[in-house]
């Protein structure tokens, strides 16, 4: 792979499908285990939004779409998502969930239309040069009063290391809330640091993952 290839091109050109292939063989038992242990789901499920299709939920980098499926089933929300992986999109569509191929800096959604925007472990894979575009897209598609839900690797200072599955790519780690909360319209509603391996606190900072809910109120 050439060094000047962006990460999103790599994911659009096969790395997304590779992720899907590695993770797509979940049995029903694994699926239930994943759902029951996803640290983000309980925080999203408790958000004060109507239990019907007036509530629009969009996940960026939805992978197999398990989180979206659960939110649709539990709260009857109108859910959809994007992923650079065609295999992921085909799979999610086969579960009757709207989905398109795409990446975080260009969302196929109308302005002011989303109540809950989810980034589930995808921002760490996004190009650093896209971060302003990504924040701007979120701001564009979110309704005036709405929510952002993020789970991702956390660090108090930005750094990158080699992406475990492909050494030419990087995993970028930082405090993702800072992409939004510098702006007066965005406030942290819920934020906690947990272990990447277990859904509970750890004193091992190398292992920290953050789960964050941000309110847009303007």
Ligand X SMILES: C[S@@+](CC[C@H](N)C(=O)[O-])C[C@H]1O[C@@H](n2cnc3c(N)ncnc32)[C@H](O)[C@@H]1O
Answer yes or no whether residue 210 interacts with ligand X by CB under 6 A: no
Sole binder of ligand X in the list 121, 175, 190, 195 (CB under 6 A): 121
Spell 94-122 as b/e; 16+ CB within 10 A means b.
eeebebeebbbbebebeeeebbbbbbbeb
Q: Which lies closer to ligand X via its Cβ, residue 88 or residue 142?
A: 88
Q: Which lies closer to ligand X via its Cβ, residue 69 or residue 103?
A: 103
Answer yes or no whether residue 172 interacts with ligand X by CB under 6 A: no
Binding mask 34-73 for ligand X (x = CB under 6 A): --------------------------xxxx----------
Q: Using CB under 6 A, which of the segments 11-19, 47-55, 70-78, 139-147 binds ligand X?
A: 11-19
Answer yes or no whether residue 85 interacts with ligand X by CB under 6 A: yes
The answer for residues whose C-beta is within 8 angstroms of residue 198's C-beta and 6 or more apart is none
Beta bridge partners, 142, equal: 114
CB of 217 to ligand X, least distance (A): 26
Long-range contact set of residues 36-42: C-beta below 8 Å, sequence gap at least 24: 37/199, 38/66, 38/67, 38/151, 39/151, 39/194, 39/199, 39/209, 39/211, 40/67, 40/118, 40/120, 40/149, 40/150, 40/151, 40/211, 41/67, 41/70, 41/71
Answer yes or no whether residue 125 interacts with ligand X by CB under 6 A: yes
CB of 131 to ligand X, least distance (A): 11
Binding site for ligand X (CB under 6 A): 8, 11, 16, 19, 60-63, 83-85, 88, 103-104, 120-122, 125-126
């Amino acid at each position: 792979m050439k060094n000047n290839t962006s990460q999103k091109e790599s994911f659009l050109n096969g790395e997304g499908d590779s992720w899907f292939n590695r993770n797509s063989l979940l049995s029903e038992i694994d699926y239930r285990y994943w759902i029951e242990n996803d640290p983000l789901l309980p925080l999203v499920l408790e958000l004060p939004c109507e239990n019907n299709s007036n509530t629009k939920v969009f996940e960026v980098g939805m992978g197999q779409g398990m989180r979206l499926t659960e939110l649709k089933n539990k709260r009857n929300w109108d859910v959809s998502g994007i992923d650079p992986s065609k295999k992921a999109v085909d799979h999610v569509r086969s579960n009757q969930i709207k989905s398109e191929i795409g990446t975080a800096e260009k969302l196929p959604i109308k302005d002011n239309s989303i109540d809950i925007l989810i980034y589930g472990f995808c921002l760490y894979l996004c190009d650093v040069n896209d971060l302003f575009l990504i924040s701007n897209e979120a701001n564009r598609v979110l309704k005036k009063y709405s929510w952002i839900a993020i789970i991702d690797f956390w660090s108090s200072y930005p750094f990158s290391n080699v992406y475990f599955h492909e050494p030419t790519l990087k995993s970028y780690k930082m405090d993702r809330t800072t992409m939004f909360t510098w702006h007066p319209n965005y406030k942290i509603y819920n934020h906690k640091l947990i272990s990447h391996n277990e859904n509970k606190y750890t004193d091992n900072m190398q292992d920290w993952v953050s789960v964050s809910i941000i309110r847009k109120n303007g």
